[in-house]
Amino acid sequence: MSLKRKIIITISTIIAILAIILCIASAYLYRVISVPTSKSFLSNNQITRNNPLYDNEKWYQNVKKQRWYEKSATGNLKLDAYYIPAQHKTNRTVVIAHGYMGNKNTMGTYAALFHKLGYNVLLPDDRGQGDSQGNYIGYGWPDRLDYLKWIHKVINANGQSSKIVMFGVSMGGATTMMVSGEKDVPHQVKAFIEDCGYDSIHNELKYEAKQLYHLPTIPFYPLEPMISVINKVKNGFFYEDGNALKQVAKNKRPMLFIHGSNDHFVPTKMVYPLYKASQGPKQLLIVKGASHARSYEHDKQLYEKTIKQFLAKYMH
């Protein structure tokens, strides 16, 4: 065998091995990223008696809840939600979007906040999470269309005079912003509140790859497009499609942006371009010292006061 042929075979073998490694790594990371299984990197959110939000959580556990169902906008999945009517009949409703690997029950403290302000509360489970059907996490992108269906369900149940605010934390915050940029958001949606949402799925995954796996940008680059292709084949969208920044730039309704100054999961710096991009009335609250999705717990009084005052402007 000639030297040239040996070199070609060696190079071809190396390329084949690298391709196999990339495929295995991509399949593994897809499972970590998008399959709703136990995630070791997520902290336990259990609320104990000494937590400032303990009374909120206790109220949520005891309050009577109605079960609502809806079909997903794509994929014909059965989606599940809790609906909690206000103490006194009202046309004001909040639709609450939960975070990554969360569910309606992980948003109970926020449900208590809005219920105390006199709102009906709708708490959906996203696709693949909680009691909703599905085998993948949509990061808010396919879910934005599901939330529009939930919003229409509220209007059908409570009447055309409904006044609706959408609220979300973390992935739910990104979902809220993604909803805000849709052309067919009903006029009954009067405002949005997002807490620590990311600017795009792509940027958040890139950031977390560096944080969790210490993958610098260059090694991550051949993996991320491959994982995104897997997601497209399985779930119908590329990660690059889910861009909250582009969506919020189309929003003309009031939006309150909240972020902790010590957020190292969705970095605080992401909120500033998002806030700048929104085209409607807007407000920004940076909660000093708060880590990811801990702004309410960190400064309960400031959080409640800010939301109450914001809603008083646009939900009267």
The residue among 110 and 24 whose pLDDT is bigger is 110
Range of the domain at 173: 49-200+242-314
Q: What is the mean pLDDT of residues 196-200?
A: 98
Residue 77 has φ and ψ, to the nearest 5°, of -95, 145
Give the pLDDT of residue 19: 67
Give the pLDDT of residue 225: 85
Examine residue 300 and state whether it is found in any structural domain, yes or no.
Answer: yes
Examine residue 288 and state whether it is found in any structural domain, yes or no.
Answer: yes
Give the pLDDT of residue 213: 58
Examine residue 66 and state whether it is found in any structural domain, yes or no.
Answer: yes
Give the pLDDT of residue 211: 73
Examine residue 302 and state whether it is found in any structural domain, yes or no.
Answer: yes
Examine residue 28 and state whether it is found in any structural domain, yes or no.
Answer: no
Examine residue 278 and state whether it is found in any structural domain, yes or no.
Answer: yes
Examine residue 42 and state whether it is found in any structural domain, yes or no.
Answer: no
Burial state string for 282-309 with b = 16 or more CB within 10 A and e = fewer than 16: bbebbbeebbbbbbbbbbbebbeebbee
Q: What is the mean pLDDT of residues 274-282?
A: 98
Query: Nearest to residue 130, comparing CAs of 41, 51, 67, 180?
Result: 67
Q: Is the model's pLDDT at 45 over the cut of 50?
A: yes
Give the pLDDT of residue 226: 87
Give the pLDDT of residue 74: 94
Q: What is the number of domains present in the chain?
A: 1
* Residue 98 CA: distances (Å) to CA of 88, 169, 170, 293: 25, 6, 7, 11
Contact call for residues 56 and 109 (beta carbons, < 8 A): yes
Query: Nearest to residue 62, comparing CAs of 116, 124, 112, 96?
Result: 112
Q: What is the mean pLDDT of residues 87-98?
A: 97
Q: What is the mean pLDDT of residues 40-67?
A: 86
Alpha-carbon span 314 to 190, nearest angstrom: 7
Confidence of residue 121 (pLDDT cuts 50, 70, 90): very high
Tens digits of residue pLDDT in 200-237: 999 998 888 777 655 555 445 677 888 899 999 999 99
Q: Is the model's pLDDT at 308 over the cut of 90?
A: yes
Examine residue 256 and state whether it is found in any structural domain, yes or no.
Answer: yes
Give kind and range of the element (H or E) at residue 93.
strand 92-97
Tens digits of residue pLDDT in 132-190: 999 999 999 999 999 999 999 999 999 999 999 999 999 999 999 999 999 999 999 99
Alpha-carbon span 149 to 31, nearest angstrom: 28
Residue 28 has φ and ψ, to the nearest 5°, of -65, -50
Poorest-pLDDT segment among 29-38, 236-245, 290-299, 302-311: 29-38
Query: Please, what is the average pLDDT of the chain?
Result: 91
Confidence of residue 33 (pLDDT cuts 50, 70, 90): confident
Contacts of residue 290, Cβ cutoff 8 Å, sequence gap at least 6: 260, 261, 262, 263, 297, 298, 299
Alpha-carbon span 172 to 194, nearest angstrom: 8
What CATH number did the domain enclosing 143 receive? 3.40.50.1820
* 8-state DSSP, 239: G
Q: Is the model's pLDDT at 286 over the cut of 80?
A: yes
* Residue 180 CA: distances (Å) to CA of 152, 225, 243, 295: 15, 27, 12, 22
Q: Is the model's pLDDT at 70 over the cut of 60?
A: yes
Give the pLDDT of residue 5: 74
